[in-house]
């Protein structure tokens, strides 16, 4: 399947609402539970990570591709910056900020009126090397979906013992 910009933007537009519906108003104990280990992401961490990405990753990197190409490598991304950057923020505040930033960032992408030639432009990832704008935007979508799956898995694991013998049928609990 080939990359479809309109479809990608549609998925990216949906993520804040999906997260809001899934998480807002839930038990705060669930927001910070690291059921997969001490250095893994709880739902609060994931949403903070997504906010940080909206601020420092996707659009800044896309601008580098469009304006400077491969002449300037992307800045390194701190995958754990949310721990200090958003310390003391509630999950609801993070959800609100994520929705706001995502709206702004999608408006920016739409205003670029990206052409196939623009999507073919290349930038330089500090570890992966040459990447094109199309790959960056596709990764943005896959990144969202990856973290939606992660949150679902973490929330499901809170019920690992409660499901009893049905655990054998629930692959989400066995990863």
pLDDT digit string, tens, across residues 88-136:
999 999 999 999 999 999 999 999 999 999 999 999 999 999 999 999 9
pLDDT beneath 50: ranges in the chain: none
Residue 126 to residues 14, 28, 59, 84, 146: CA-CA distances in angstroms? 29, 37, 16, 23, 22
Residue 4 tokens read as: 């479809």
pLDDT at res. 37: 83
> Please, are residues 13 and 54 in contact by the beta-carbon 8 Å criterion?
no
Query: Can you name the residues that pair with 132 across neighbouring β-strands?
Result: 122
The domains of the chain, with CATH numbers, are 5-173 (1.20.120.450)
pLDDT at res. 46: 96
For the chain, helix, strand, coil in percent to 5 are 65, 5, 30
Its pTM stands at: 0.94
| Dist. CA 57–CA 61, nearest whole Å | 6
pLDDT at res. 1: 66
DSSP code of residue 89 = -
84's CB contacts (< 8 A; 6+ apart) are: none
């Amino acid at each position: 399947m080939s990359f479809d910009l309109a479809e990608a933007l549609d998925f990216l537009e949906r993520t804040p609402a999906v997260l809001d519906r899934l998480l807002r108003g839930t038990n705060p104990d669930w927001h910070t539970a690291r059921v997969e280990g001490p250095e893994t992401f709880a739902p609060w961490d994931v949403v903070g990570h997504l906010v940080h990405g909206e601020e420092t990753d996707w659009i800044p990197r896309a601008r580098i591709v469009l304006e400077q190409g491969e002449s300037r490598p992307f800045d390194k991304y701190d995958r754990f910056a949310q721990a200090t950057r958003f310390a003391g923020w509630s999950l609801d505040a993070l959800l609100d900020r994520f929705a706001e930033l995502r709206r702004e960032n999608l408006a920016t992408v739409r205003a670029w009126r990206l052409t196939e030639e623009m999507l073919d432009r290349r930038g330089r990832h500090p570890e992966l090397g040459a990447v094109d704008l199309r790959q960056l935007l596709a990764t943005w979508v896959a990144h969202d979906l990856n973290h939606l799956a992660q949150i679902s898995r973490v929330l499901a694991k809170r019920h690992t013992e409660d499901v009893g013998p049905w655990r054998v049928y629930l692959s989400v609990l066995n990863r």
